[in-house]
Structure 1
Amino acid sequence: MTPVSLYWRIFGLNAVVLGAATALLLWAPVTVSVPVLLTEAVILVGGLAVMLVANAALLRVGLAPLGRLTRLMTTVDLLRPGQRLPVQGRGEVADLISAFNAMLERLEGERASSSARALLAQESERRRIAQELHDEVGQSMTAILLALKQAADDASEPLRGELQLVQEITRESLDEVRRLVRRLRPGVLDDLGLVSALTSLTGEFAAHSGLRVSRSFDSDLPELDHETELVLYRVTQESLTNAARHAEARRVDVSLRRAGDTVVLDVSDDGRGIGPAPEGAGMRGMRERALLIGAELDVVPAARSGTRVRLTLPGRGEEP
């Protein structure tokens, strides 16, 4: 059976209402006097109101799916996949909703692929910059430190004190370069694994931010691939950075635990919480990384105050 188009359905609804009104005027014992009597005017206005209400109700039922489609089109976010409209019935509206759902499916896949390429390129560039900082800037500053030490040993006061001061400033700058290298390329993640990398990250964060950091890592975590471990590391890194820069927090709790066949990363702070402002580049970057491994990222208010970032891996966290 060929489905009836939206045009003919609306036309049919109006035809039914107008036909019923015409039949009522033809066969009902109702006449219109000249001049019009009050009772006749009340009957005509009442009939018109009934026709308009019936027509409006029928059109609202017929066009309701288009309203839902419009609302979804204005609020859909490709970084929150899975938003779909149910397809009910047949006809043009159902075909339109099906086509829109298929378009969302395709766009989410393309967004995930493009985000994966962009993030892999970003990590490659970070490794290159970290390598150059380590090999060129780091070695040059190390040579400068050795030269300053030699000059300070051979110099007399007060020049020796000034050279030692310059030597200390250079040493602090070298330490900062090394911290940048570790942020750009977490070598401990490759060498010692995820738990050691997160332990090092949280320890260094606490030392330089002044915040209290509590960490809890399960000992029976499943084996994860390098891409997943890198996403967990980067999400933790970005969450700690947000807590220090924007949340005005005093304490941060970091946990990584196993929940059945999934792994859950939880970073909570006691700061001022998330406001009505739109998400920034850092938060959207975390969502893109979560999509890269098919994980679910939730950013919600913490139990008492502050913000809670939770990353839940899919069921791939099973033992091999």
Structure 2
Amino acid sequence: MATAQHWIEHYFDEASDAIYLFQEDTLLVSNKLAQDLQDELHFAPNYLVQVADAAVKQKFAPTDDCFSCSIRSMMHEISIPITLANDKRHPLNYFLIYHVIDVPTKVFSLTLKSRGTIDRMDEMAEQRQLSRYVSEAQEKERKNISEDLHDSIAQSMYSAIMGVRRLAKDSLSPTETEELTAGIEKQLNDTLEEVKGMALDIRPSVLDNFGLIPALRVLAERSEEATGITTTVSGSAKTDVLSAETQNVLYRIAQEAIHNALKHAEPHEIDLLLVSHNHFITLEIMDDGKGFEVPKHQEFNGRSMGLMNMNERVKALNGAFSIKSEPGNGTMVTVKFPVAL
């Protein structure tokens, strides 16, 4: 038990946050970081109590100054933004965490947590959430490819094999042989086209061989052929100044934006515009579909996962991503990447 108490005291004293324990207005104990911070910034611990008390009164509006009454009317923990060393060149931004430990004895703690640390923790949590999403999206794509291979490609190949076996074993007339041969050839050609289509969806060779604009034109042509919806590509941006990774991201965003428009917007026309400016290159994907309310689709959900993925891909390469849309007024997806002159 004594050993456990020792480790608890050691953990408290070496904590990475400044911690103060109070009973009413009396400081009971503080850890090393709290003492160092107090000595460096020359403030009284009771100043933190006053800040916390003012925040509690403002948030919960107690009817009197009774500490116990305030405690009864509030949650057991509240977070309060606070800035220390305002008079210095680099003020220190914290969250003051007010935590009730024991109501009858009026004991509570005040903990100073760096806002920068909390922001980094939030970023890490968001990154973990995004990683889970990316993993789920990859698994979904693998499942789709597997189903396509099994349900379409494999079945077509099996049917062709059975036709070849029939040619080898059955006694067919010249006319029957010709008809069966023609059927097998057509089936294999259709399967070949389907495999080529899958390969283009996964990674278009034209992007590697000829660059971004030709790849976007092929994407637009395939989309128009499949759906009948006019899809155009314009602009003469010099994409050779972009890295291969950036060009790939721009292509994927165009692919995802076209997919979203066809799936959700019921457009009559989709336009892609790729333009060079002095310091950046911009890709805009515009449709004249039914549009949507952007704020409702900025969180993780089934419909907006592709949008979130696009945004994160662009941010990872120091680009800017935006979506403008209103119900009845279509949608415009804009991506901007800086370029070196």
TM-score w.r.t. length of structure 2:
0.56
Q: Does 1:318 align with 2:334?
A: no
The change in CA–CA distance for 1:262 and 1:222 in structure 2 (over 3 A counts) is farther
Q: Does 1:5 align with 2:47?
A: yes
CA distance in 2, matches of 1:203, 1:167: 26
CA distance in 2, matches of 1:216, 1:302: 24
The change in CA–CA distance for 1:194 and 1:11 in structure 2 (over 3 A counts) is closer
CA apart distance, 1:193: 1.4
Name the structure 2 match of 1:292: 316
Q: Does 1:246 align with 2:288?
A: no
2:203 to 185, 194, 216: 185
Q: Does 1:108 align with 2:137?
A: no
CA distance in 2, matches of 1:202, 1:223: 23
Alignment of 1:45-64 (within 5 A): none
Question: Structure 2: any 5+ residue segments left out of the alignment?
Answer: 1-41, 57-61, 65-69, 71-76, 87-91, 97-112
Deviates more, 1:93-102 or 1:221-230: 93-102
Show structure 1 runs of 4+ deviating over 4 A: 9-14, 87-91, 109-119
Aligned residues: CA RMSD: 4.7
Name the structure 1 match of 2:305: 281
Tell me, yes or no, if the aligned pair for 1:253 and 1:268 is still in contact at 8 Å.
yes
- Structure number with larger C-alpha Rg: 1
1:272 to 269, 290, 295: 290
Q: Does 1:195 align with 2:213?
A: yes
The change in CA–CA distance for 1:106 and 1:186 in structure 2 (over 3 A counts) is farther
Name the structure 2 match of 1:174: 192
Tell me, yes or no, if the aligned pair for 1:270 and 1:302 is still in contact at 8 Å.
no
Structure with more of its chain in strand, by fraction: 2
CA apart distance, 1:195: 1.5
CA apart distance, 1:104: 2.0
Tell me, yes or no, if the aligned pair for 2:289 and 2:328 is still in contact at 8 Å.
no
CA distance in 2, matches of 1:218, 1:265: 11
Amino acid at match of 1:268: M
Name the structure 1 match of 2:67: none
SS for the counterpart of 1:233 is helix
Amino acid at match of 1:283: L
Tell me, yes or no, if the aligned pair for 2:236 and 2:275 is still in contact at 8 Å.
yes
Aligned-pair identity in percent equals 23
Q: Does 1:301 align with 2:325?
A: yes
CA distance in 1, matches of 2:280, 2:304: 28
Deviations 1:114-169 (A, max 9, x none): 969969x96xx98xx89xx8xxx79x96xx69x96xx69x9623453344234323
Tell me, yes or no, if the aligned pair for 1:290 and 1:296 is still in contact at 8 Å.
yes
CA distance in 2, matches of 1:220, 1:99: 45
Tell me, yes or no, if the aligned pair for 2:322 and 2:333 is still in contact at 8 Å.
yes
The change in CA–CA distance for 1:318 and 1:13 in structure 2 (over 3 A counts) is closer
Amino acid at match of 2:340: E
CA distance in 1, matches of 2:178, 2:122: 65
Alignment of 1:127-142 (within 5 A): none
Name the structure 2 match of 1:263: 281
Question: Structure 1: any 5+ residue segments left out of the alignment?
Answer: 15-50, 54-58, 60-65, 71-84
The change in CA–CA distance for 1:9 and 1:239 in structure 2 (over 3 A counts) is closer
- Residues paired across the two proteins, number: 242
